Amino acid sequence: MSGHEPSQPGSHTFDYKHVGGRFLGLVALAIVAYALVGFGAISNKEQFAFSYLFAFFFFFTICMGGLFWQLVHHAVDAEWSVVVRRQMENLASLLIVMGVLFIPLIFVAPTLWTWMSIDPAHNIVLGEKSAYLNDWFFWIRASFYFSFFTIASLWLRSNSIKQDAEGAAKYTIWNRKITFASLPFFAVCLTFAAIDWLMGLDFLWFSTMWGVYIFAGTALSSLCVIVLIITALRNVGYFKNVISMEHYHIMGKLMLAFTIFWAYIGFSQYMLIWYANIPEETTYYLRRNTETWQIMSTAMVVGHFFVPFALLLFNFGKKRPGFLCGMALWILSMHLLDMYVIVLPALHKAGVQIHWLDVACLVAIGCTLACVFLKRLGSAPLWPLRDPRLAKSIALKN
Amino acid sequence: MNAVGNTNAPIYGVAAEFQCARDLYHAAEKIRDAGFEKWDVFSPFPIHGMDEAMGLKRSILGKLVFLGGLTGFLTAITMEFGTSSFLYPLIVAGKPTNLFTVPAFFPVMFELTILLSAFTAVFGMLILNGLPRLNHQLFNWDRFKKVTEDKFFVAIEARDQKFSTRSVSDFLESLGATNITTIHGD
ipTM of the complex model: 0.72
Q: Cβ distance A226 to A81 under 8 Å?
A: no
The residues on B that touch A, with CB distances below 8 Å, are: 48-49, 93-95, 103-104, 106-107
Nearest to A295 by CA among A259, A328, A340, A329: A340
In this predicted structure, the answer to whether residue A6 has a pLDDT above a threshold of 50 is no
Domain ranges of chain A: 16-384
The Cα–Cα gap between B103 and A273 comes to 11
Q: For position A8, what pLDDT does the model report?
A: 55
What are the tens digits of pLDDT across the range A209-224? 999 999 999 999 999 9
Could you say which DSSP state residue B46 is in? -
The Cα–Cα gap between A269 and A280 comes to 14
Of A37-41, A42-46, A117-121, A262-266, minimum mean pLDDT range: A117-121
Q: Which residues of A touch B114 (CB under 8 A)?
A: none
Average pLDDT over residues A239-262: 92
Q: For position A199, what pLDDT does the model report?
A: 92
The Cα–Cα gap between B92 and B104 comes to 11
pTM value is 0.86
Q: For each successive 10 residues of chain B (186 residues), what is the average pLDDT?
A: 83 91 91 90 91 89 94 94 86 78 88 96 94 88 90 91 86 88 87
User: Chain-wide mean pLDDT for chain A?
Assistant: 90
Q: Cβ distance B11 to B165 under 8 Å?
A: yes
How far is CA A217 from each of CA A57, A262, A302, A342, B171, rounded to the nearest angstrom?
11, 6, 15, 12, 57
Could you say which DSSP state residue B141 is in? S
How far is CA B72 from each of CA A191, A197, A261, A348, B108, rounded to the nearest angstrom?
35, 41, 20, 42, 9
Give, for B183, the enclosing helix (H) or strand (E).
strand B178-184
CB contact under 8 A, A271 and B93: no
The Cα–Cα gap between A46 and A41 comes to 8
Q: Which residues of B touch A275 (CB under 8 A)?
A: 93, 95, 103-104
Cis peptide bond upstream of B132, omega within 30: yes
The Cα–Cα gap between A32 and B11 comes to 84
Nearest to A211 by CA among A193, A232, A236: A193
3-class state of residue A135 by DSSP: helix
**Strand B39-42 and strand B178-184: pairing?**
unpaired
Mutation for A interface: B106, B109, B111, B113, most A CBs within 10 A = B106
One-letter amino acid at A21 equals: G
> How many other CB atoms sit within 10 Å of the CB of residue B51?
14
Q: Residues of chain B with pLDDT > 90: what percent?
A: 41
Average pLDDT over residues A240-245: 87
Q: For position B125, what pLDDT does the model report?
A: 94
Q: Angle of helix A170-197 relative to helix A135-166, nearest 10 degrees?
A: 160
Q: Residues of chain A with pLDDT > 70: what percent?
A: 97
B92 to chain A: nearest residue by CA? A275
Measure the CA dihedral A75/A81/A83/A88, to 10°: -70
Q: For position A2, what pLDDT does the model report?
A: 40
Q: Which residues of A touch B94 (CB under 8 A)?
A: 277
Could you say which DSSP state residue A388 is in? T
In this predicted structure, the answer to whether residue A89 has a pLDDT above a threshold of 60 is yes
3-class state of residue B13 by DSSP: strand
> How many other CB atoms sit within 10 Å of the CB of residue B164?
12
Q: For position A4, what pLDDT does the model report?
A: 42
Q: For position A3, what pLDDT does the model report?
A: 39
A253 — pLDDT class (breaks 50, 70, 90)? very high
Average pLDDT over residues A355-378: 92
The Cα–Cα gap between A398 and A247 comes to 8
Q: Which residues of B touch A306 (CB under 8 A)?
A: none
**A214 CA to chain B: closest CA distance, Å?**
21
Q: Cβ distance A83 to A394 under 8 Å?
A: yes
3-class state of residue A62 by DSSP: helix
